[in-house]
Copies of this chain bind each other. A is one copy, B any other.
Amino acid sequence: MKYRCFCGLLIAGLLLFLPLSGQARQVVCDDSLSLWQDRPAKKAVLDFVQRVTDPNDAAYVPPQDRIVTIDMDGTLVCERPTSVGMLFAENLLREWASAPQLQGREPFEAARRDGLRQMRKKHFELFFGLSGAGFEEGVLQSKMQTMVRGERHPRYKRPYRELFYDPMLQLVHYLIQNDFVVYVVSGSDQTLVRVLCAERPELAGLPPARFIGTLVALDVDFADGKPVYYRLARELEPVNLRKGKALNILYRIGQYPILAIGNSKGDCGMLAVTHAAKYPETLRLLLNHDDAGREFAYPGPTGSDAALCREQAGADILSISMRDDFEKIFAFDSGL
């Protein structure tokens, strides 16, 4: 059994008062979530993990069924003012839209006329696809890698690969250590999801199959003895948001998560399918962006979206406050 504790105090106590006996070593200080404040969210996660990993607990879940699905943009990594995937697509579309041979041609004309955001709202199913249309998949991968390593976030002046939330990466590491099967389930272009997450050691060890994003339609050519994949100008169904996440979890994982973590209305379908897991205890978390000082302040599901989310995923969604629950947000932060 593990005792949750304030580690510094306990270690001091051990050094001062206890002999270094076998007994003393049984008191393990669980600082697995040291970047989390000792508040309800941390306690809920630690309790949940302890219960589902304890073969003597009624909530026990065998390792192969410890599926956890985690959203990327806004849950693992900063998505404001623009998510990394959107920024990448916008950069590419801007290049395209300024090409002389595309003057007057839709949808580039629409992008120029209405702005990219408007076009994205109307044609999300085209946005990622169009931006990379005709590119070789490998070439785009390299471009993505260059971008996440080189281009700097307008506020933090850091490369995008540094904009992962440190407490969330710590949580991922903790879950993997406890034999959870971690999937990242993101609305972004799946190739970008794989490229961006490969930048962080906590995620780089996961096989590529664990990253589920929106798929861009591809064709493949075998002419030169090796397959060459290139992009068509559209996405594949289902776009990996809302119901799409619930669908892709069945298609791609075929098991229901016992733990799902998101931050927006796009994640409610993913949270909802935890209720189909065949175990008595499951956990649903929504990260709340309430820290304008250190990150950004913008609501999760509100109004009718919140009502729909509760209707789909139940009322017992636990909120994580970035302001109150996170000791620090980014690795480059100095902490509270």
Which A residues have a C-beta under 8 Å from some C-beta of B? 64, 137, 181, 190, 194, 207-209, 211, 215, 217-220, 222, 225-227, 229, 236-238, 243, 246-247, 250-255, 269, 272-273, 275-276, 311-314
Is B269 in contact with A207, judged by CB distance below 8 angstroms?
no
27 A-B pairs whose Cβ atoms sit less than 8 Å apart in the complex: A64-B207, A137-B250, A181-B207, A190-B251, A194-B254, A207-B253, A208-B255, A209-B253, A209-B254, A211-B254, A217-B237, A219-B247, A220-B247, A222-B246, A222-B269, A222-B311, A222-B312, A226-B275, A227-B246, A227-B269, A227-B272, A227-B273, A227-B275, A227-B276, A236-B236, A237-B237, A252-B252
Question: What residues of chain B lie closer than 8 Å to A220, measured between beta carbons?
Answer: 243, 246-247, 250, 269
Is A250 in contact with B229, judged by CB distance below 8 angstroms?
yes
Given contacts A225-B314, A269-B220, A314-B225, contact A209 B252 (CB under 8 A): yes
Seed contacts A208-B255, A225-B275; 5 additional CB < 8 Å A-B pairs: A208-B254, A217-B237, A229-B250, A236-B236, A252-B252
Is A254 in contact with B207, judged by CB distance below 8 angstroms?
yes
- Considering the chains assembled together, what is the distance between the CA atoms of A213 and B54 in angstroms? 35
Question: What residues of chain B lie closer than 8 Å to A219, measured between beta carbons?
Answer: 243, 247
Question: What residues of chain B lie closer than 8 Å to A252, measured between beta carbons?
Answer: 209, 252
- Considering the chains assembled together, what is the distance between the CA atoms of A233 and B252 in angstroms? 20
Q: Which 9 A-B pairs have the closest CB atoms?
A: A208-B254, A222-B312, A220-B246, A222-B272, A226-B275, A227-B273, A227-B276, A209-B253, A220-B243
- Considering the chains assembled together, what is the distance between the CA atoms of A95 and B207 in angstroms? 43
Minimum CB–CB distance from A309 to chain B (whole Å) comes to: 10
Question: What residues of chain B lie closer than 8 Å to A227, measured between beta carbons?
Answer: 246, 269, 272-273, 275-276
Residue of A207, A222, A275 with highest tally of chain B CB at under 10 A? A222
Question: What residues of chain B lie closer than 8 Å to A311, measured between beta carbons?
Answer: 222
**Chain B residue at smallest Cβ distance from A181:** B207
Residue of A250, A272, A311 with highest tally of chain B CB at under 10 A? A250
Is A276 in contact with B218, judged by CB distance below 8 angstroms?
no
Question: What residues of chain B lie closer than 8 Å to A313, measured between beta carbons?
Answer: 222
Minimum CB–CB distance from A139 to chain B (whole Å) comes to: 14
Question: What residues of chain B lie closer than 8 Å to A208, measured between beta carbons?
Answer: 253-255
Minimum CB–CB distance from A113 to chain B (whole Å) comes to: 30
Which one of B209, B237, B246 contacts A236 once the chains associate, using CB atoms below 8 Å?
B237
Given contacts A227-B273, A255-B207, contact A250 B218 (CB under 8 A): yes
- Considering the chains assembled together, what is the distance between the CA atoms of A226 and B253 in angstroms? 17
- Considering the chains assembled together, what is the distance between the CA atoms of A227 and B275 in angstroms? 8
- Considering the chains assembled together, what is the distance between the CA atoms of A313 and B227 in angstroms? 9
Minimum CB–CB distance from A233 to chain B (whole Å) comes to: 14
**Chain B residue at smallest Cβ distance from A232:** B237
Question: What residues of chain B lie closer than 8 Å to A211, measured between beta carbons?
Answer: 254
Minimum CB–CB distance from A241 to chain B (whole Å) comes to: 13
